[in-house]
Chains A and B, each alone.
Chain A
Amino acid sequence: MATSEEGTFYIELCKKPIRFDPVSKATNVFYDDSNKQVFAVRSGGAMGVVVKGPEDKNIISFRIEDRGDVTSIKFSPDKKILAIQRSQKSVEFINFQEDLTTDQLEYSQTCKGRATIIKGFIWTNNSEIVFITDHGIEVYQVNPEKKTLKNLKSLNITVIWYVWMNRPDGGLLLLSTGSQGNSLQPIYFTFGSQNRLPKFEVDLPSFPKQIKQMLQERDVSIAAIYGQLYIVVLRHQPRPGATGAEIVLYQIQANKDSPAKKTNILKLEMSGRFAINIVDNLVFVHHQASKTTVMFDIRLNGESDGYCLANYPVVSPLPIRPFKLLMPSLNLQGQEKTEYNCELYSANWIVFQPDVIIDAKLGCLWYVELKLEVLVNMIPDKCKLIKFLLQRGNSKSVILSVCRHMLLPGQQAPLMVISRVYDMLNKVYKLFLDSEVQALASDIYHRQERTSRCVIIDQSDMYSNVFSIFEDNKDIPYKFRVAVLIEYIRSLSQQDIPVQHYLYELVINILVHNNCFYQLHQFLQYHVLSDSKPLACLMLSLESVYPPAHQLALDMLKRLSTANEEIIEVLLSKQQLLPVLRFIRSVGITDTVSARKFLEAAMNTEDNRVFYTVFKFFEQRNSRLRSNPRFQPGEHCEQYVRHFESLFGTDALAPIPAPT
């Protein structure tokens, strides 16, 4: 359990930040969010460039000639070509070998047109680079062997600024155009082709007697949330008189002909400087003035006005957990290090998508992390909590822990809540099972993609992680235990999910231990507990404490229709010889059963009439099968023939027909 102080922080910076040389007069720092690499360029590269990626192994270090201040530096996705921009007119390239060494030889590409200024560039695949200029975009094919570039395509459009988001299959480029910069042109790059999506306008707040403010680059970002692409726009003052800022989400439509649609408005209820991160499909909004962060889940608590959903923070704004960094001590000599409290929400922070915070002065790159365990105590509404957790990436153990706690005395949730929670879990479980079935029918590639998304809580998870507390915690009243299990079984059957036997067994054991046989009887009567041989055997074992269990077991075996052997055994064990003979006759297996078993049971009844009847029954069978009433040696019935003779005499045996 977290201590009270620890319990209040659910957002953390990763424990091990990526460290790099802090920004200084000599050192410039760049971050490439496509490759998630941070570049520390010392003295224009002459003193070295150090590149660090998310994994410590990938440190790349090299030197480049100092040919002026670097304004942008990015590797191609396969890290074989480095592109460097130092001027507004051209971009230089350096090839890298597999072992990350370089021949230092640069080649260059200038943009088209004299007055054109390169605003920036993006790698759209390993050998394709796009220059974004004030006049539009230029797509080039890079040929590293020949050290040349070839212009593939150009697009003329006045660009004020741009935003780029890298995607596994390419990426989305968003161009700001128009006099207010609020006319946005999305272009989707994928496998060497460019899809111009419909342009759309972001509505800017209008204030009387004021010029409309431009839409600023810093207020726009692209985010992937729940598998959908969104343009995230921060509106500082949405309406005249409104105090709180809000974030508007424009969803890129799957249909390429429809413009992005305004779908959600996140109500910040604060104003000032904001920065946005996307973590685990949640929108995190950092607020500098209050030094807090609010979290939004667009699938939770939306209020619809008919056009789009208004979302409110999942929990109240709270600060990020304080971060302590070990730094070489400034005053003392030697290797000693002191703990240094990082300033959170510092003015030096730069936030990158999706989940990166960089403090350039400190030389730290952090990933923002969400602590679900802490959050659990902040959402008292269990239904809301589970709904939230089910959407998270790595929440299985947390969900199971919540479910377990809901059953504990003292923290017990009302049955109604438990019922709704189970319904939520099983709905996801059912979708998963269905997709499994579909995946088996189609290809395997799809399946992996689908299942990686949601958290599945299946029956064995519930059994071994949640219902197991019934074993450990005897204080839970049996009525509650049964109610919980029945609730779970109901939820499963309503989703048409076959219930596993161990759950039935658990219910039965609780009922039996508390002498609730009549309740058990009613469950079986309505087939709440599905028929099976193990269940039938369990019922048979209960006969001594609850006689009707015998009938229930036999009914079940009969319905299973594959349990004739078991029925015979049950009847024989009850010495019900005549019924068992009628039974084998009715199911047509008289010719195949072993006579010995029946004769033995008949002899054990010590009722001579019964023995006689059984004996005669099999004599008749023998006659029918082999035209001879005698038993064959292989049947091992000699003992019973002798017993018959001793009781009734040899004359009583059926005569052997004369051979014809």
Chain B
Amino acid sequence: MLSSSWCFLHQDTEMSAKGNVTLKNFFIFNATYGPKEGEEEKKIMYYYPKNVDIDTKIKQIGLCEAIVQFTGTFSDQPCESLHTQKHRQIILEPEKNFWITITVTVPFTEKTRDGQIYVEYHEEDVQDSVMKAVLKQAYRMFTLFNGSFYHILNNSNGDVFVLQQRLDHFFSRYLLTLRLQQSDILDIYNGIYFLPLDKNTFLQVQCFINILEASFPVIKYTAFLYSDLLVWSGLEQDDMRIMYRYLTTSLFPSYSEQELQAGGAQPSPARTISVPGNSGIHFGKFITGPTNMKDETNLGKIPRVYINTEVDNEDCHLLVYRALNATVCLLLNSSITLNFELCKKLDAFLGPKLSALASEVGEQYSKRPQNSAEQQFKYIYFNHMNLAQKTTVHADLRKSVGVGLPQDILQVLSDVSTDLTKNNRDGETIVRTLSDCWVVGKKSDQREVLIVLNQKNSNLVEITEEVKRLCSTNFSNIFFLE
């Protein structure tokens, strides 16, 4: 039992729709903005859903504030979650005095006993750790595109209205993309998939980036991805983590969709470029930036992002360029005005080189050992040090195809992981589920591996042996204590 989570059981009269986890509300407030009675409205920075009357908003915020205040008297750690029969509320203070809260409905099923219909709520189906991860991610995504709350305030001379506008602009759309039902252990890890590459190919990528950055000094940082896998990041880990999230779950999928609609199955048609002396065809295209290199009037959409790698809230243009499956993300100093001329130069430089590099990397990528489809076990690996994660549980990284494990096992995975992280020591947890499935969690230094074994009628000794064997075959080149 988490010391900081408080369980209130009270009758909720409202009838919610039958079914799964849904977003009930999401709000951001700053308690210091309306300390006097009658001014409570000023505390509201953002509230979803919008069509709720002001009294409800004030009451919800008031309640949340009160709980935080009250529990704060007992513990240094503020209250993080509020459990009710029908709802779950997660509270986060990402910046001083700014609170973000998300409330979701608890899944239920209607059952009949003695001819009477009653509703059974499945409290365990909503996991605090997962919801907390979702909330944190929402905040980081906002700051990626807007900078921190205080940064916005500082830039607008403390004008709260500017902040409110930004929050509204961002979250009104972001919240619609939340897929709460599919949130699971991977949201907690929020890791990065790295592309395994041999040394020489990696060095080629590295040298390509060095030459790129040397040829275009306006480029401050570069990241290189192949498919959805990261190869190199010039950004610091935390920036790369959220950038990776944005690229792989939002930008790339929507771009692929566009491409599919535009040109059938061909990812991007080869282009010959007009630069003399450069022989031939390349496959390069801007994902953000000019969509047509012949149309000088259309610079396309180039997002602004805020990076904390060298200094906090550094404002950058994000240009993303792809050739075949290789993508480079270029972060350009925002002090320069992006013009078509620069894009054209970048295109001429990147197009041929990245195309060549992409096919080289692709050759290795296609040679990598495939996970044999029918494995007796599935695993998720995560390294807190470099955020590297691997999974054989999820068929694809965006979870669009579905997950190879039943919901209850997935929940066990989250619980085991949370448990291992909580007592910060190396160790092992072995769980046997009702369906005779074994879940083994191991933690060594900063690494975690969660293994699901589907061996019926096994005993603890057999499972331990099996895990030992799996670790020695899969993690032989890292220091992973048994």
Question: A residues engaging B (CB < 8 A)?
Answer: 414-416, 419, 479-480, 482-483, 486-487, 489-490, 493-494, 518-519, 521-523, 525-528, 547-548, 550-552, 554-555, 557-559, 567, 576, 578-579, 582-583, 586
Contacts and interface: CB of A to CB of B under 8 A. Distances in A.
Interface of B: 194, 197, 199-200, 202-204, 206-207, 210-211, 213-215, 232-234, 236-237, 383, 385-386, 388, 426, 444-447, 477-479, 481-482
Nearest to B202: A526
A586 B200 CA distance: 33
Contact of B199 (A480, A526, A551): A526
Given A416-B211, A486-B207, A522-B232, A548 B200 contact: no
Contact of A521 (B210, B386, B444): B386
B482 A493 contact: no
B213 A479 contact: yes
A493 B383 CA distance: 28
Contact of B233 (A479, A483, A522, A558): A522
B445 A525 contact: no
A490 B203 CA distance: 5
Given A415-B215, A416-B215, A528-B199, 5 more contacts: A479-B214, A523-B206, A525-B194, A551-B445, A582-B482
Q: Which label, helix, strand, loop or mixed, suits the secondary structure of the B interface?
A: mixed
Contacts of A582: 481-482
A138 to B, nearest CB: 61
B206 A554 contact: no
A518 B388 CA distance: 13
A579 B426 contact: yes
Nearest to A482: B210
Contacts of B194: 525
Contacts of A558: 477-479
Nearest to B239: A518
A570 to B, nearest CB: 9
B365 to A, nearest CB: 14
5 contacts: A415-B215, A487-B210, A490-B203, A521-B385, A551-B445
A518 B207 contact: no
Given A518-B233, A527-B199, A483 B210 contact: yes
A55 to B, nearest CB: 50
A525 B444 CA distance: 18
A486 B210 contact: yes
Nearest to B388: A525
Contacts of B199: 493, 526-528
A214 to B, nearest CB: 47
Contact of A419 (B211, B386, B444, B479): B211
A617 to B, nearest CB: 15
A521 B446 CA distance: 15
Contact of B446 (A482, A519, A548): A548
Which of the listed residues B197, B237, B385, B426 has the most CB atoms from chain A within 10 Å of its own CB?
B385
Contacts of B383: 551
Given A415-B214, A548-B386, A583 B481 contact: yes
Contact of B203 (A480, A528, A554, A559): A528
A156 B240 CA distance: 85
B206 A548 contact: no
B209 to A, nearest CB: 9
Contacts of B234: 519
Nearest to B445: A551
Nearest to A550: B445
Nearest to A558: B479
A490 B236 contact: no
